[in-house]
Structure 1
Amino acid sequence: MSDKELTPAEEAAARAKEKAEQDALPYKWTQTIGDVDVLITVPGNLKGRDLVVDIKKTSVTAGIKGQEPLLKGELAHAVKVDDSTWTLVSAPDGTKTIEIHLDKVNKLEWWPHVVKDAPKIDVTKIVPENSKLSDLDGETRGMVEKMMFDQRQKEMGLPSSDEQKKMDILKKFQEQHPEMDFSNAKIN
């Protein structure tokens, strides 16, 4: 992708192409910032022993024994194997779904695809689910609120909370020491 802005029509076309590529995959997948979930629909008469699901740190294979895997390849990023799982779930329509849960090692990274040879999604278009600040513990909440404040200040061309604090200390010091000349002071 280039750095130039897409027109609304180009953006819509890019999203439509991305959706068509994702819909064509033999699986559906979703992600949060911490994990990836893959759903593969299989015939309802299958049991767990009829399936092959192999989750490794950097690769995954899933499908029906004796057939070409429905999902196979090198993962976009590493996963925690011990915290990754799979289950076979019956659906109301008589089919079954292999549900694969992959626990990301890096919990600060969006995946452009599950396996590297699959079509990519544009991760810059991901809108993360909003967690409520009230769900966070006090220290984390304070840190997030400070980051949000500093981001808003930066967007408006105003000083961050740390810069404001330094300026306030300097101003107070100047008021307490009017005999000092600060006219040539460089403030970083």
Structure 2
Amino acid sequence: MASIQELDKMSKEERAAYEAKERAREQAEQDALPYKWSQDLNTVTVFVPLPSGTRSRDLQVVMERRKLKVAVKGGETLIEGELFEEIAKDDSSWTIESGTLTFELEKMSAHIGSHRWWPHVLTHDPKIDTTKIQPESSKLSDLDGETRAMVEKMMFDNQQRQAGKPTSDELRKMEALEKFKKAHPEMDFSNAKMG
């Protein structure tokens, strides 16, 4: 993946071609997984296609705080690995419908108010670029005020990082430093560093 400095050196056309190539690569990696998945700020949904005629009693399903496993009893393991992040096990569930096992994994981070996007479900699987995630507008408007403000801040910070510009927290620190400089013109700030 290109660095922000490398992206900045590209022309508009080169950057668009690079981003299209990256999207295609990412999509090919995701298509090769033995499952499909989606997410919102609170939940990761995983869809595992099952062999024809498979019922729940034919499966060994393990859903722990940091582990997920689906195997056909006496047969192959369909998926297995460590989850990207802890889930709220008691609030998560799985169901089988139309030949697909569906997990609804409640993100533990959402339970503690630290919403974040998962780059992948299992730590050994390829990652997606979470800076490209755009929540659906209609869903954004459904959020309560505090959560919506936090999502909008995350989106702004992701856009700023992509453009190589300061995030909202960095802008706030810079603003505070400027106010302090004006209040104390007698001080030398030439070696001041933002951290």
Same topology, TM > 0.5: yes
Matched with 1:32 is: 40
Matched with 1:84 is: 92
Matched with 1:53 is: 61
- Give the number of aligned pairs: 149
CA distance in 2, matches of 1:46, 1:80: 27
Deviations 1:66-96 (A, max 9, x none): 2232211010011011011111102xxxxx0
> Which of the residues 82, 99, 119 maps onto 1:112?
119
Deviations 1:27-72 (A, max 9, x none): 0000111110110111341111001111111111013222232211
Which of the two has higher C-alpha Rg? Answer: 1
Q: 5+ unaligned residues in a row in structure 1: which ranges?
A: 91-95, 164-184
TM alignment of 1:176-187, pairs within 5 A: 186=183
| C-alpha displacement of 1:14 | 0.7
Matched with 2:103 is: 100
Identity of aligned residues (%): 41
DSSP-derived class of the 1:115 partner: coil
DSSP-derived class of the 1:52 partner: strand
DSSP-derived class of the 2:22 partner: helix
TM alignment of 1:100-179, pairs within 5 A: 100-107=103-110, 108-130=115-137, 131=139, 133=141, 135-136=142-143, 140=146, 144=149
DSSP-derived class of the 1:15 partner: helix
Matched, 1:68 2:76: yes
Paired letter, 2:45:
D
**Distance change in 2, residues 1:87/1:136 (3 Å):** closer
**What is the RMSD computed on CA atoms of the aligned residues?**
3.0
Deviations 1:105-129 (A, max 9, x none): 0121111110000111111111112
Matched with 1:171 is: none
Query: Under a length normalisation based on structure 2, what TM-score does the superposition of the two structures give?
Result: 0.66
Q: 5+ unaligned residues in a row in structure 2: which ranges?
A: 157-164, 166-171, 176-181, 185-195
Query: Under a length normalisation based on structure 1, what TM-score does the superposition of the two structures give?
Result: 0.68
Matched, 1:16 2:24: yes
